[in-house]
């Protein structure tokens, strides 16, 4: 067994049967000695469908897709007001993610225009131009640290353009995002949220006076149930957009590049059959799902012989959904020939909180394949250098060294 990070063990509540208790710290899965963090999560499939761990304040974990389906949709019992662990007060100010319908609806509607088809097409063009420049620069080297040299540049350039913020600011924004999405330290996460608010203040003040065409201006000028958003609500929506936009696609690209570097036959299939790339993107999103969001019980509630109590937190790891053999046949295998109806995952969530940027994320992944594979078709992991993969509220590859013959 691994040694979790230094966190106190919560006492087991009276409503938790002893046979459902596991010592599982999702911030410390790298200490299991497994390079595949999703498979480290999947060790929970060997036990009960729903378990309780005393780590990180004590919380439930739903390990099977059937229950995750129910809990993602049943916001009347499983609320999004606490969606991350350890439990914290920041979640309720992260709009619209920290709200349930109907309060959630106008805030979601405020950001959706940014992801309409016309805008997606323009952003895909930016992504493609960025990727071409990056690959042309990287290819002659014969090596790269993929996360810093590509994964953190392509989507972040697209995103900072969307919100019209300086590209050079990514140098300090990215470390803040890393703390916000993967740190077990709630105080540190509060600190970076405060830093982000201070950073955004002059931009938001300026665009309140003179709105532009960017997404921050779109948020500022949105309609929230017949009124403009308050300044605090603008900060809540803007901070959530920035932390999500700065990390998620970069993390997903890291897992995909890591897989392709170790699986030349899959890589060759994508080169020989470009039309397969959309299907492959969906399969890789399934196999390497990122978010491990949570819900909070709004009331005492009996579910499948478990007596939940009001205020209990239950985690819904999306990789456990995708690796559930009751949902997907041979789920640990990456199979680009699965029919679309056979690729079942919750990588972007479901129901009212489904990720609004899902279409853009898929396009950026396909842009990576389109622009990388023709110039760097044969690459592998450089095993002489560190490989850093972490779990947390969002799974991520933090360091990935690749090499190839020039």
Binning pLDDT at 50, 70 and 90, where does residue 6 land? very low
Q: Which pTM does this prediction carry? A: 0.94
pLDDT in the model for residue 33? 66
Neighbours of 311 (CB within 10 A): 12
Look at residues 52, 56, 67, 64 and name the one whose alpha carbon lies nearest to residue 17.
52
Which tokens hold the place of 330? 């041979």
pLDDT at 3 over 70: no
Contacts of residue 33, defined as CB under 8 A and 6 or more positions apart, other chains included, come to: 2
pLDDT in tens, 128-148: 999 999 999 999 999 999 999
The domain ranges of the chain are 18-403
Distance CA 228, CA 39 (A): 45
pLDDT in tens, 61-73: 999 999 999 999 9
CATH class for the region spanning 18-403: mainly alpha
pLDDT in tens, 173-227: 999 999 999 999 999 999 999 999 999 999 999 999 999 999 999 999 999 999 9
pLDDT in the model for residue 203? 95
pLDDT at 36 over 60: yes
pLDDT in the model for residue 7? 53
Of the chain, the percentage scoring pLDDT greater than 90 comes to 91
pLDDT in tens, 308-356: 999 999 999 999 999 999 999 999 999 999 999 999 999 999 888 999 9
pLDDT at 60 over 50: yes
Following DSSP, what letter does each residue of 172-201 receive, concatenated? HHHHHHHHHHH-S-HHHHHHHHHHHHHHHH
Of the chain, the percentage scoring pLDDT greater than 70 comes to 98
Contact 63, 45 (CB under 8 A): yes
pLDDT in the model for residue 355? 92
Neighbours of 175 (CB within 10 A): 12
Q: Tokens 């699965």 identify what position? A: 338
Distance CA 108, CA 223 (A): 11
pLDDT in the model for residue 160? 92
């Amino acid at each position: 067994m691994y040694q979790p990070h230094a966190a106190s063990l919560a006492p087991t509540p009276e409503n938790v049967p002893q046979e459902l208790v596991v010592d599982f710290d999702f911030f410390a899965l790298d200490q299991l000695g497994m390079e595949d963090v999703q498979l480290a999560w999947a060790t929970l499939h060997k036990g009960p469908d729903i378990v309780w761990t005393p780590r990180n304040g004590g919380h439930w974990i739903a390990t099977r897709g059937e229950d995750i389906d129910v809990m993602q949709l049943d916001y009347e019992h499983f609320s999004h007001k606490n969606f991350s662990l350890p439990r914290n007060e920041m979640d309720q100010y992260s709009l619209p993610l920290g709200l349930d319908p109907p309060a959630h609806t106008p805030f979601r509607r405020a950001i959706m225009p940014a992801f309409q088809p016309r805008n997606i097409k323009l952003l895909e063009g930016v992504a493609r131009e960025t990727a071409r420049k990056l690959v042309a620069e990287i290819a002659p080297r014969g090596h790269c640290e993929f996360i810093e040299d590509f994964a953190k540049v392509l989507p972040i350039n697209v995103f900072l353009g969307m919100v019209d913020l300086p590209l050079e600011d990514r140098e300090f924004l990215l470390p803040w995002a890393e703390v916000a999405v993967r740190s077990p330290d709630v105080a540190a996460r509060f600190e970076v949220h405060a830093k982000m608010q201070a950073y955004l203040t002059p931009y938001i003040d300026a665009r309140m006076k003179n709105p532009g065409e960017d997404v921050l201006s779109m948020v500022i000028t949105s309609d929230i149930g017949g009124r403009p958003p308050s300044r605090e609500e603008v900060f809540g929506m803007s901070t959530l957009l920035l932390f999500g936009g700065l990390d998620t696609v970069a993390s997903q690209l890291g897992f995909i590049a890591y897989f392709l570097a170790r699986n030349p036959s899959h890589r060759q299939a994508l080169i020989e059959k470009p039309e397969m790339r959309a299907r492959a993107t969906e399969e890789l999103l399934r196999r390497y799902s990122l978010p491990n969001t949570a819900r909070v019980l709004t009331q005492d509630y009996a579910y499948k012989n478990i007596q939940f109590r009001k205020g209990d937190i239950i985690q819904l790891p999306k990789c456990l959904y995708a690796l559930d053999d009751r949902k997907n046949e041979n789920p640990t295998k990456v199979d680009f020939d699965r029919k679309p109806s056979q690729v079942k995952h919750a990588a972007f969530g479901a129901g009212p909180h489904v990720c609004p940027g899902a279409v853009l994320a898929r396009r950026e992944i396909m842009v990576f394949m389109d622009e990388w594979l023709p110039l760097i078709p044969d690459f592998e992991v450089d095993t002489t250098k560190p490989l850093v993969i972490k779990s947390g509220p969002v799974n991520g590859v933090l360091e990935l060294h690749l090499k190839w013959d020039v």
